[in-house]
Amino acid sequence: MHSHRIYLEMQRLQKQYPEKPLYAVVGDLAASGGYFIVAGAKAIYADETSLVGSIGVTAAGFGFVGTMEKLGVERRNYTSGEHKSLLDPYSPQKPDEVELWNAQLRRTHEQFIEAVKSGCGERLRADTPNLFSGLLWNATEAKVIGLIDGFGSIETVARDVIQAEHLKEFNEEPNPLSRLADRLGASIGAGFASGAVQSVLEAFKSQKVLGQ
């Protein structure tokens, strides 16, 4: 959901300010939700060794029914609504509910695919086998099939594409008091831990001496 919201906001801003193109630069990895986001940019750049894609949807969990039976634990679950306990890890899976959940994943996957197609536009070779199967692609392959536009880093894209001499950092900087408090907290915590360990060692030595 968060990836989709960021994607939509990127699309909105580009429509509102068409004279200001929005570029995405991939570092090590832009997979799944990460690629969902960068697909909203006007152009995507990555290092030749970057990995991109993983256009798929997954949901995982655990089932504890067998464990509970071995432990002699009885599950008591009270609900109102036929499928309110959908995916309850303490109850046996129901085939119809598994299919309901898989249907939701398929719908989300379709939305993901449509967002990628819309964001990448004509450069995307949508008929590429396994393109939307969840596989990751090396950036060299990704460029061929249209998942990225070219190769570059933040610095090279700024210099060669945007032609900007200086980069402006928009990450929020903590104020000096916050940094000081964090450092003091870390120092106090480290000192406390060191003192606690030393106390345990001394107690152990004393016990050993007494035992002798």
Strand partners, 149: none
Band (pLDDT 50/70/90 cuts) for residue 198 is: low
Q: List, for residues 81-129, the tens digit of each pLDDT value.
A: 888 888 888 888 889 988 999 999 999 999 999 999 998 999 999 999 9
What is the C-alpha separation between 108 and 95, in angstroms, rounded?
Answer: 20
The helix (run of H) or strand (run of E) holding residue 85 is none
What is the C-alpha separation between 24 and 39, in angstroms, rounded?
Answer: 8
Q: List, for residues 149-176, the tens digit of each pLDDT value.
A: 999 998 999 889 988 878 777 777 777 7
pLDDT value of residue 32? 93
Q: In the chain, which ranges are continuous DSSP H helix?
A: 2-16, 33-38, 65-71, 95-120, 139-145, 154-156, 176-211
User: In the CATH scheme, what is the code of domain 2-58+97-162?
Assistant: 3.90.226.10
Q: Evaluate if residue 192 carries a pLDDT over 60.
A: no
The b/e string for 74-110 (b: 16+ C-beta within 10 A; e otherwise) is eeeeeeeeeeeebebeebeeeeebeeeeeeeeeeebe
